[in-house]
A and B are shown apart, each in its own frame.
Chain A
Amino acid sequence: MAARGEPAAIGPVVAAGNGLRHQHLAIAGMAAALAVAPLVLYPVFLMKVLCFALFACAFNLLIGYVGLLSFGHAAFFGTAAYAAGHAAKVWGFPPELAVLFATACSALLGLVFGWLAIRRQGIYFAMITLALAQMLYFFYLQAPFTGGEDGIQAIPRGRLLGVLDLSHDLVMYWVVLAVFLAGFLLIYRTIHSPFGQVLKAIRENEPRAVSLGYEVDRYKLLAFVLSAALSGLAGGTKAIVFRLASLTDVHWTMSGEVVLMALVGGLGTVFGPIVGAAVIVSLQNYLAGLGHWVTIVQGLIFVACVLAFRRGIVGELGRLLGKPL
């Protein structure tokens, strides 16, 4: 347990009230930069970054603010991808309903996983989530509707609300950006709400939160479901963007990747997961020529990150500026 008054190793304690002004400015700046980014960069690449950034932010909500390390988040991401793909392709759902349906599926799954997993702490919690996610992986491998190794292919992007034609990459991009910002702001609001304060209290000292009269399990479960649902939002959106849901999305390496993204960017920081996702996705994209060596490069980065700057890129930056980011 961390000693009282000392900032926890996992992330800087966020100051309340007016101390957040620089964060609001940073969010506005980020939104503006992202809105014009596709005019310079390849929009499909940016959409991938945004989907993974939302996924990493959802994961960070759990590890960074409740201190729960889930090693099965790919289950929520992948389930949503399959749900969105199946709904849009087979049932003919419009994209917005497909993604909402996918988010609901992941939230429900999060409720089941969370209900089982929050009974244990630390490594046991991580292992339970991993075990459940692996069970689900083998289910998806065999279930006929997922298409096994082929995945669900040629998922229609369709028209948003019957109006916006998503087959244009730029239109799709701004929709993805809106989804990302909505998810991100929801997380931001959550961690700065009284609910978020209780989550942080649980992270810092769980027995103490219990002694103060909080029903810790309820808070943990709610945070878990929220994280699962937002991971699902990211996964469902990704399936619509790439028109493909495959086993890669539910494989345990995906759970590992999201841990890596959060860690490289900075656990328990607001912007860390976004930066982490951008770094990891760029690496995968630009080093794709190395084939299987990409995973080794990622491993080396992970080691370097843990050894040299444990707060992650954004965490270290925040420390240098003296402000939580």
Chain B
Amino acid sequence: MRRFLVPAGAALLAVAAHPALADFTGGKVRIGVLNDQSSLYADITGQGSVVAARMAVEDFGGKVKGVPIEVTFADHQNKPDVGSNIARQWYDTDGVDVIVDVPTSSVALAINEVTREKNKVFLVSGAATSDLTGSKCSPNTVHWTYDTWALANGTGSAIVQTGGDSWFFLTSDYAFGHALERDTEAVVLKAGGKVLGKVRHPLNNPDFSSFLLQAQASKAKIIGLANAGGDTINSIKQAAEFGIVAGGQNLAGLLVFITDVHGLGLQTAQGLILTESFYWDLNDSTRAWSKRFSERMNGRVPTMVHAGVYAAVTHYLKALDALGADGDGKAVVAKMKELPTDDPLFGKGTIRKDGRKLHPVYLFEVKKPAESKGPWDYYKLKATIPADKAFRPLAEGNCPLAQ
């Protein structure tokens, strides 16, 4: 055995010494976009996130301190084991320095752990669970776009305030759904509402009939959809078929993206209240960026996840430029937290100690078909929640980094 241990030890030493040889590992910066390329979250994230990351690199000039930047991507199939295998291989053998996006909270939590173990950087845009900056927070992770607490705080409290005080939850049965349900329930109870029941459905579920019947039987005023993507679209469509909304109950989509509204059509989606941190038609700079994005994506507008990928990668590159190195993930994230953020999509902002990016969050209402003036003109702005109110207060997250 000793015969093998000697070369192995030498190999380990060579690897350990490597970061000292060059400030940028492998002589380049490699960005890995890891998301759903083929299933229910492919429209929300998918190729759009790859395009957004490439745009960020191009807008940065393609190089940082003279070192070339590359973007690679992979499909995690929404499975934590597939995702963490890819991440391990990327970090160990493929020279990836940062993993971006990663929708599906269960996968994101797995990547969070692998990234911490390997001391790299993880920029979350697609995943929602507020645990990423709560009990599972990591000095290697920045959670950019939104989280379940922000959604619950936005949509949940808006609905309770307008009289929707009895709830029934239809929850996607994994980390994201559980977190969204938990955070929304807290908001509802705090505002004096009550929760009459909840039912959990599997991820990527085609048939919601039995769950919707339970929701109907509960007589709750509001059926809270703690799911996302294809699951939300299916549950809203099937609820319409069951006559649930016609029967006087209202649906609350707790996480609805603009691509979901597009998939549902305004006729079905009109009147939905939803919370997002980005809308393409918000101001001149979001419109200009979205136009460039659309040209590359066959006319589709960006979701907030795509915008988050662009902004997070941009800020990451700024931190690398300031630091002049990419080997130590903790140092890079510390630099990202130290520098104030400024990008055309989310405006000026900061990253908190627990890894939470702070920016305003918006409450939108989906337009009626008659109000829509053109393709993708879907939202009316109802309220702007300022950055300091939009996300969970630092002290309430139980993040060890916050102490």
Contact = CB atoms under 8 A, between A and B. Distances in A.
Contact of A39 (B11, B74, B77): B11
Interface string A191-222: 00000000000000000000000000000000
A42 B93 contact: yes
A190 B79 CA distance: 37
Nearest to B172: A149
A248 to B, nearest CB: 5
A242 B85 CA distance: 8
Interface string A148-175: 1111011000000000000111100010
Contact of B77 (A153, A169, A291): A291
Contacts of B12: 168, 170
Interface in A234-279: 242-244, 246, 248-249
Interface stretch (B105-113, B350-358, B373-381): B105-113
Interface string A103-143: 00000000000000000000000000000000000000100
A288 interface: yes
Contact of B89 (A35, A45, A149): A45
Contacts, number: 82
Nearest to B39: A292
B21 interface: no
B248 interface: no
A289 interface: yes
A38 interface: yes
A174 B38 CA distance: 37
B98 to A, nearest CB: 20
Contacts of A149: 80, 106, 173-175, 202-203
A307 interface: no
Interface stretch (B1-9, B191-199, B265-273, B299-307): B1-9
Interface residues of A, number: 31
Given A44-B92, A150-B175, A292 B80 contact: no
A246 B109 CA distance: 13
Contact of B92 (A36, A169, A246): A169
Nearest to A173: B8
Across chains A and B, which 5 residue pairs bring their CB atoms closest together, nearest first? A149-B174, A150-B106, A291-B75, A154-B113, A150-B175
Interface of A: 35-36, 38-39, 42, 44-45, 48, 141, 148-151, 153-154, 167-170, 174, 242-244, 246, 248-249, 285, 288-289, 291-292
Given A39-B7, A170-B11, A288-B75, 17 more contacts: A35-B4, A42-B89, A42-B93, A44-B89, A44-B92, A148-B174, A149-B106, A149-B203, A150-B105, A150-B106, A150-B109, A151-B110, A153-B80, A154-B113, A167-B117, A242-B81, A243-B117
